[in-house]
Structure 1
Amino acid sequence: MYPYLDHGGPIAMAHRGGALHPDNIGYENSLRAFRHAVGLGYRYLETDLHATSDGMVVAFHDKRLDRVTDRTGVIAELPWSEVKQARINGKEPIPLLTEVLEELPETRLNLDIKADNGVGPAVEVIRKTNAIDRVCVSSFSQRRVQGVRRALGDRLATGFGDREVALLRFTPFRVNTSGACLQIPESFGSLKVLTSGLLRRAHALGKQVHVWTVDDPAIMHRLLDAGVDGLITDRTDLLKQVLVDRGQWV
């Protein structure tokens, strides 16, 4: 068992800090949002990672600053000295990954590396902060996931890469992977990703299945009834209430 996954019930994960909680709208991936989720009792936070042109790793989803901040530009093309001037919703600074790890030492972070230039810098931050047991690294890119695994070893919890998910979903063969968990949507467009067969095969391999991004209480109940191991949500208020009602809030 990976220390990251050591939890006494279904994992409740605050997506971007709980981006659609009524108190957090407009503040995704900010320390304000992360603190709010921790205040609700969340132990797991999900965030995205980009690296600046000088290799500083920031908790931010988009490759550009434009959508959620008062600045513009591509993060990978800007130095940290410029990116740190941006304000989320005009108010909150973009946090460095090191700041999130240091300010919230009791939390576990799910890290989605959004671009190739973020792999090396993210690996260095995880090493330098001794955070390997506190994080799970995921990415849509199989190459990025494998790069992090090679750099940090099997002790690190990682999600399945896209090819590993596809193999487990569409073939009867065992998947040779050191991945700790599948972090998947229930569906991707018209394609059903989560099936009873996939869930059964994942559990037979000793792998957890976490589903994103689930904001409807009825769907939360249905997925938990089906046996998924964790839910990733923007509506931290609703997921907490569902788990409280089921006697599964830890």
Structure 2
Amino acid sequence: MTSDSAVRPGRPAVRHPYLDHPGPLAFAHRGGSLGGPENSMAAFEQAVRLGYRYLETDVHTTADGVLVAFHDDRLDRVSDGTGSIAQLPWRVVSAARIGGREPVPTLEELLDAFPEARFNIDVKAPAAVRPLVDAVRRTHAWDRVCVSSFSERRLAGVRAAAGPRLATSAGPRDVVALKLRSLARGGLPLARGARRRAVCLQVPEFVAGGGDSGPRLVDAAFVETAHALGLQVHVWTVNEADRMRSLLDLGVDGIMTDHIDVLRDVLIERGAWF
């Protein structure tokens, strides 16, 4: 693990092995859109072939406790199956095909298939907390997993079960607190213990997440405030080259994208694809 004193220019010290990478982190959001439907093994394989070292996915748990890499709580939108994952046994979920052709992978299948990759995992349901920590433990993936969630309760559950060995992102309350602090230029305290709980903030560029129509969340002051507190800033989901360039100019530490070819090209042109 890189020492906290080894601060890269313009970036905070690396506080967890997961973040130890020489340039901005390029995340293939749900595997990206080049190689297959979202969260499919084919999509992740294409991202890795393209050179991606950071893969983003989501987890739910079946009725019989199998942890699957799937965004929605239901099969219906992206697969030929139907029903709530939490109410279906694995034998039914495993028969569904994403995009009509790709099986639903388990998280452990992904961790085993890409042993050199690092995974950003959004825990989507309370029932997935314990199986997620157990999967990380069984696969010895402590240094290559970061867990995020929109739920403070789920994040707290992950941290309680895993301890500080597992990297986590800040929850919504800490993001709001940091934004207020950045607006006040240091005049407001961050939520208690935020620096101890999280190693990064994973946020949309705009508050409402609705493109450039909402109030801006990520600006120079936000990034500077996060860095002063030792937190990296990762922005999702950015698919346009000009927006990628603007965010990188602000000093963000990572970008999540569906358009993995576009982000790769932007980083190559900046000499930042490693």
Query: Distance between the aligned counterparts of 1:202 and 1:156, measured in 2?
Result: 20
Query: Distance between the aligned counterparts of 1:131 and 1:181, measured in 2?
Result: 18
| 1:10 aligned residue | 24
SS at match of 1:106: coil
SS at match of 1:187: coil
Query: Distance between the aligned counterparts of 1:83 and 1:147, measured in 2?
Result: 25
Residue type at the aligned position of 2:43: A
| 1:188 aligned residue | 207
Q: Please state how far the C-alpha of 1:186 moved relative to its aligned partner.
A: 0.6
Q: Please state how far the C-alpha of 1:191 moved relative to its aligned partner.
A: 3.2
**TM-score if structure 2 supplies the norm length?**
0.88
Counterpart pick for 2:147 among 137, 141, 146 = 137
| 2:189 aligned residue | 173
Asked whether the equivalents of residues 226 and 232 of structure 2 are also in contact (C-alpha less than 8 Å), the reply is: yes
Q: Please state how far the C-alpha of 1:188 moved relative to its aligned partner.
A: 2.8
Q: Please state how far the C-alpha of 1:65 moved relative to its aligned partner.
A: 0.3
Superposition map of 1:32-43 within 5 A: 32-43=42-53
Query: Distance between the aligned counterparts of 1:184 and 1:123, measured in 2?
Result: 23
Counterpart pick for 1:161 among 150, 164, 171 = 171
Deviations 1:115-170 (A, max 9, x none): 11111111111111111111000000111111101111112110100111111111
Range with bigger deviation, 136-145 or 182-191 = 182-191
Query: Distance between the aligned counterparts of 1:174 and 1:3, measured in 2?
Result: 24
Query: Distance between the aligned counterparts of 1:191 and 1:84, measured in 2?
Result: 41
| 1:112 aligned residue | 122
Residue type at the aligned position of 1:180: V
Residue type at the aligned position of 1:85: A
SS at match of 2:146: strand
Is 1:230 matched up with 2:240?
no
Aligned-residue sequence identity (percent) comes to 54
Q: Please state how far the C-alpha of 1:76 moved relative to its aligned partner.
A: 0.4
- Can you give the 5+ residue segments of structure 2 that lack an aligned partner in the other structure? 1-14, 182-187, 209-213
How many residues align? The count is 246
Residue type at the aligned position of 1:112: D
Superposition misfits of 4+ residues, deviation over 3 angstroms: none
Is 1:81 matched up with 2:95?
no
Q: Please state how far the C-alpha of 1:93 moved relative to its aligned partner.
A: 0.3
CA RMSD of aligned residues (A): 1.0
| 1:198 aligned residue | 222
Query: Distance between the aligned counterparts of 2:244 and 2:115, measured in 1?
Result: 28
Residue type at the aligned position of 2:206: S
